Structure 1
């Protein structure tokens, strides 16, 4: 039986300059684009419509997530940061173009394209964190939650958090929807995409 978690609203930061350029960000950072700010504003409208009074709000400490949180949660609650919401690190591939990294993947890597790019890049990045370590980090964060929580994070970390809550194996990350400017509600083991 899957563990029960409090109600969650999980969202990814808005589009960044490096997202637009097709660069790996990981622990590095780039600013939100005008579209990214619009996506954060769309998330604000969703959160306002839902009503998050009494919800805890946690954000990744990375600049792109904090910029998104400041727009999305403006006037709705206080934002705290938690390092466990940071994006999966990509080691030597940080700042590099995705297409260049794709050429360096092992020949047996399964490359499936998702709204967050080829997920194999995050598993095989030299000196990167890898999915197993990310899953442990996501589980630690989720186990620490004591009530309804809004989580502002990153594409891969969002997928892993949702996989853990939904009882999905890591191999299913590519089957989970991604995207920016949306909010995923997880309640009673069910995921709903809010737009």
Structure 2
């Protein structure tokens, strides 16, 4: 399928990112570094031609806060879409990541999301990302989260788009996706 041109941003560093906590559906505010990362993303986007682009954000506070900083001078309207929210981690919400079981897997940190009790699971995230992309009518700037953004990038540009990335990657960067390829803007 041919998808519209996108710029994908991950929210800036949060207090819970700094502490190593699983956030999922819960929220913590951006740190000072996270605010600087969001401002840096805004500076990157200010150099891009965004005429005709829609601006969409996850409704979760950390993404909305990032969108306000990064897009506040660029977008007349920023809409939220629940499908851009972060993966639900169920009973592990708010817990320190290093206190949780680490599955024996190629990417044990991503595997944690799959085994989180009462969590959403990666297949469900992929399904809602596909649904979101199917309904997208034109080019857009998206402010989302680590796992959700990674899933969107994999759908749009294949597994090469996520090779070498970490679960914490992407804060302060902008991913430009067009015609099935990805470019990291930093």
Aligned to 1:23: 21
Q: Is the Cα contact below 8 Å between 1:112 and 1:174 reproduced in 2? A: no
Aligned length: 182
Change beyond 3 A, Cα 1:4–1:62: same
TM-score, normalization: structure 1? Answer: 0.89
Aligned ranges 1:64-75 → 2 under 5 Å: 64-75=62-73
CA RMSD of aligned residues (A): 1.5
Aligned to 1:33: 31
Q: Which runs of 5+ in 1 are unaligned?
A: none
Q: Which runs of 5+ in 2 are unaligned?
A: none
- Determine if the alignment matches structure 1 residue 175 to structure 2 residue 124: no
Aligned to 1:80: 79
Change beyond 3 A, Cα 1:174–1:96: farther
**2:22 and 2:155 mapped to 1: Cα distance?**
24
Q: Is the Cα contact below 8 Å between 1:90 and 1:129 reproduced in 2? A: yes
Alignment counterpart, residue 13 of structure 1, candidates 11, 14, 27: 11
Aligned to 2:179: 188
Instruction: After the TM superposition, list the runs of 4 or more consecutive aligned residues in structure 1 that deviate by more than 6 angstroms.
Output: none
**1:176 and 1:85 mapped to 2: Cα distance?**
23
For residues 130-178 of structure 1, the C-alpha deviation after alignment (integer angstroms, 9 at most, x for no partner) is 011110000000111111110100000000001111244xxx7862633
SS at match of 1:6: coil
Q: Is the Cα contact below 8 Å between 1:160 and 1:173 reproduced in 2? A: no
